[in-house]
């Protein structure tokens, strides 16, 4: 098949491109390199079955041409990272909402199957744990910029499902939970690569808030394999799936684990949210996915432990 990946030079997109090429597909990448990097695809850049376009999803003529010629679309292009989102709220909303609108409209024109990469952020501050796909969502006020990302991705989901029900466009939605692995940048607020880089340099490991907030970090290879299975399974059309891991750890314990694995001399330093981001910043205390639906429909079960993930990331940054 010929497969289009928007955001294909990003962290997850680059792994997806590699996976699909190894599976014998022809892959077309579109990326504007706002947060993606050509270095992410250096191992496949000259592959005979890879086509790369450095352009924006808002180039409607190009998008029409690429969508028309493909069999499937993975829509990963989005504003990412809490730091980026807080600093660039206009770009966040316009990219996530406007970009998805452009792509869904063209996908519908040619009736191309599309996977929308959503996020665990859509659950907001809900305390109905673990999060089920049909759970209630709770957000903070519109004056807090970090919620613009969650709201914009929720609108993506609404729009995709509207195209499904009204236009019969085949769509699948994957809500990704804290995906990590080698190649991920800490530049935009991603906590694991930031901790690893700080630890390797013996700089203070900066934990935002009190560090008692917890997350579940899934391996990028597991996540990529899962979303391909979602796309290839006809019964997943029109469905929403949590994809990640349920192995939970507090952010403070994560910092301690990184320090231990790197044999670092770093001190762990708590930084108030207001100092790290913005006045009134809000965070979720826990974020744990219920993976039973993905387990039932695509036999999804994460394979890589957090310790192994951190070891791979540490070796990556050492090099």
Domains of the chain: 2-180+217-246+287-303 (3.40.50.720)
The SS3 assignment for 251 reads: helix
pLDDT for 184-201, tens place per residue?
Answer: 987 767 899 999 999 999
**What local confidence, expressed as pLDDT, does residue 247 receive?**
95
**What local confidence, expressed as pLDDT, does residue 10 receive?**
95
**What local confidence, expressed as pLDDT, does residue 240 receive?**
98
Whole-angstrom Cα distance, residue 312 to residue 145? 33
pLDDT along the chain (319 residues), means of 10: 97 98 98 93 96 97 98 91 77 90 98 97 93 93 86 95 98 97 84 97 96 97 98 97 97 98 98 83 90 98 97 96
Q: Would you call 133 exposed, middle or buried from its count of C-beta atoms within 10 A (0-12, 13-18, 19+)? A: middle
Tokens of 299: 């036999």
**What local confidence, expressed as pLDDT, does residue 273 receive?**
86
Selection from 165, 150, 157 nearest residue 241 by Cα = 157
Angle at 258 between CA 257 and CA 259, to 5 degrees: 90
Q: Indicate which residue of 149, 163, 208, 277 is catalytic.
A: 149
Q: Decide if 149 is catalytic.
A: yes
* In the block, residue with structure tokens 């990469």: 117
Selection from 31, 15, 86 nearest residue 283 by Cα = 86
**What local confidence, expressed as pLDDT, does residue 279 receive?**
77
**What local confidence, expressed as pLDDT, does residue 188 receive?**
67
**What local confidence, expressed as pLDDT, does residue 281 receive?**
79
**What local confidence, expressed as pLDDT, does residue 293 receive?**
98
Whole-angstrom Cα distance, residue 85 to residue 79? 7
Tokens of 124: 């907001």
**What local confidence, expressed as pLDDT, does residue 78 receive?**
82
Classify each residue of 259-271 as buried b or exposed e, where b means 16 or more C-beta atoms within 10 Å of its C-beta: beebebebebeee
Q: Would you call 9 exposed, middle or buried from its count of C-beta atoms within 10 A (0-12, 13-18, 19+)? A: buried
Q: How many CA atoms lie within 13 A of 315 on its CB side?
A: 7
Q: Work out whether the CA dihedral 178, 181, 183, 187 comes out positive or negative.
A: positive
Tell me the whole-structure pTM to 2 decimals. 0.95
**What local confidence, expressed as pLDDT, does residue 185 receive?**
86
**Length of the chain (residues):** 319
């Amino acid at each position: 098949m010929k497969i289009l990946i928007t955001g294909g030079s990003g962290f997850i997109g680059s792994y997806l491109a590699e996976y699909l090429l190894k599976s014998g597909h022809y892959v077309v990448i579109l990326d504007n390199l706002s947060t993606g990097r050509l270095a992410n695809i250096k191992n496949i850049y000259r592959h005979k079955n890879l086509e790369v376009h450095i352009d924006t999803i808002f180039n409607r003529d190009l998008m029409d041409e690429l969508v028309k010629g493909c069999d499937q679309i993975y829509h990963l292009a989005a504003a990412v990272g809490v730091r980026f989102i807080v600093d660039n709220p206009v770009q966040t909303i316009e990219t996530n909402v406007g970009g998805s609108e452009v792509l869904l409209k063209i996908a519908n024109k040619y009736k191309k199957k599309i996977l929308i990469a959503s996020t665990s952020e859509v659950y907001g501050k809900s305390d109905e744990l673990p999060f089920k796909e049909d759970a209630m969502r709770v957000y903070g006020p519109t004056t807090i910029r970090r919620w613009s990302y969650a709201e914009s991705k929720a609108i993506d989901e609404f729009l995709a499902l509207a195209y499904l029900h009204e236009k019969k466009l085949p769509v699948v939605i994957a809500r990704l939970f804290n995906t990590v692995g080698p190649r991920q940048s800490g530049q935009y607020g991603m906590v694991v690569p930031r901790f690893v880089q700080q630890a390797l340099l013996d700089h203070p490991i900066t934990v935002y808030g009190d560090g008692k907030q917890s997350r579940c970090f899934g391996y990028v290879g597991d996540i990529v394999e899962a979303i391909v299975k979602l796309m290839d399974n006809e019964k997943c059309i029109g469905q929403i799936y949590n994809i990640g891991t349920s192995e939970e750890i507090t952010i403070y314990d994560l910092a301690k684990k990184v320090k231990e694995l790197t044999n670092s001399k770093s001190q762990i330093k708590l930084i108030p949210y207001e100092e790290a981001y913005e006045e009134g910043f809000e965070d979720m205390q826990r974020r744990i996915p219920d993976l039973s639906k993905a387990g039932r429909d695509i036999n999804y079960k994460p394979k890589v432990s957090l310790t192994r993930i951190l070891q791979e990331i540490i070796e990556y940054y050492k090099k």
